[in-house]
Amino acid sequence: MIAIDSATGEIGSAGASCVDLIPIGYATSFLSDLIPGIGGANTQAAYLSLNQRNAKTRINRKDSAHIVLDWLIQNDAEANPEIRQYGIVTFVGGSPQVAAYTGNDCLDYKGHRVGSNYSIQGNILLGPEVLDSMEARFVRSGGSLACRLMYAMQGANIVGADSRCAANGTSSLFAFLKVTKPSDVINKPFISLGVKTADGAGIEPIDSLQKLFDISGINCGLSGNQELSKHQRIRLQVNPIKNYIEFICEKDLDMNSMKIELSDLQGKNILLQRLEQQGSILRIFPSVIEPGCYLITLQENDQVSSFKIIKQ
């Protein structure tokens, strides 16, 4: 999907697909171009880099979204626009314009949803419910454009959302989210998150993307992990860690029933050897892990707190 926030001038896109990018080395957001303050395009379905470069050129000329789309259809690099799919947003006179296209020969389920400032499109999908869920979540959500995009992406967090990934037990194999503001340098958006997973690994990339989003410092309001962080009900003591992770917890927290999960940034869970509690101090001893970055979540009832851990 691709969208504009007319109040802030931000342009953002997010997506996922059941394509193993690891062996081919593509960046997770290869199918999306954002031009700060001007517009952006997602070019998907039988992806062709020349069509994408042409979309970027036309948007950079400040053509309206519909003019860009009409030009791409009439000037397809292989003279076969019926296998393409596009989502395009542009600023025209300070107002957002949106255009979308799904060729008749794209693979089912195929379709798109368009609103005043967004386009959501997909092909080879489980069904229309994937697009409907994403659209409903985007429309209902508040907060920044990045928060709304992430919330919409969770609407596609369904096994087989890209039907090719049903056997993998995931929605997709890679996922991305990026947002650019008017002052950004082109190709350097101020938010750029992406996750690649290997075919057969069974790791849900949208869950991994959510974890990256959660530790990025983006404030989406007082919900989920933001609530505990704001009120400092749980505080991480020392980071980077060596042998154990130490927290100071408020005394009214039920640490005995707390659910704790430690994972790497690809979503793989790390086993915990033991827990130690002394008053308000909680120490968590992980199994042997390699140096690097990890995410730990602590959940008590419906309250969740997440922290980025660095292992030296």
**pLDDT for res 222:** 35
Question: For a pLDDT cut of 90, what percent of the chain falls above it?
Answer: 58
Max mean pLDDT range (92-96, 106-110, 290-294): 106-110
Partners of residue 270 on adjacent β-strands: 262
State the residue for tokens 């000037």.
75
Backbone angles phi, psi at 73, to 5 degrees: -65, -40
Separation between Cα atoms, residue 169 and residue 158, nearest integer Å: 9
Q: Give yes or no for residue 99 having a pLDDT over 60.
A: yes
Write the pLDDT tens digit of every residue in 45-77: 999 999 999 999 999 999 999 999 999 999 999
The stretch 284-291 carries a mean pLDDT of 85
3-state helix, strand, coil split of the chain in percent (to 5) is: 25, 35, 40
- pLDDT at 142 exceeding the cut of 50: yes
Q: Which residues lie across from 44 on neighbouring strands?
A: 85
For tokens 């429309």, name the residue.
Answer: 139
| Architecture of the structural domain at 225-311 | Sandwich (2.60)
- Taking every pair of Cα atoms in the chain, the longest distance, rounded to a whole number of angstroms, is 70
Q: Which residues of 3-35 are buried (b: 16+ CB within 10 A; e: fewer)?
A: bbbeeebbbbbbbbbbbbbeeeeeebbbbbbbb
What are the extents of the domains in the chain? Answer: 2-215, 225-311
For domain 2-215, is the CATH number 3.60.20.10?
Answer: yes
Query: Is residue 224 over pLDDT 70?
Result: no
Q: Is the pTM of this model over 0.75?
A: no
Provide the residue type at 174 as one letter: F
What is the structure's pLDDT at 303?
67
Question: Is residue 265 very low, low, confident or very high in pLDDT (cuts 50, 70, 90)?
Answer: low
How far apart, in Å, are the Cα atoms of 34 and each of 9, 82, 93, 189, 192? 12, 24, 18, 8, 11
Query: Which residues touch 253 (CB under 8 Å, ≥6 apart)?
Result: 233, 234, 300
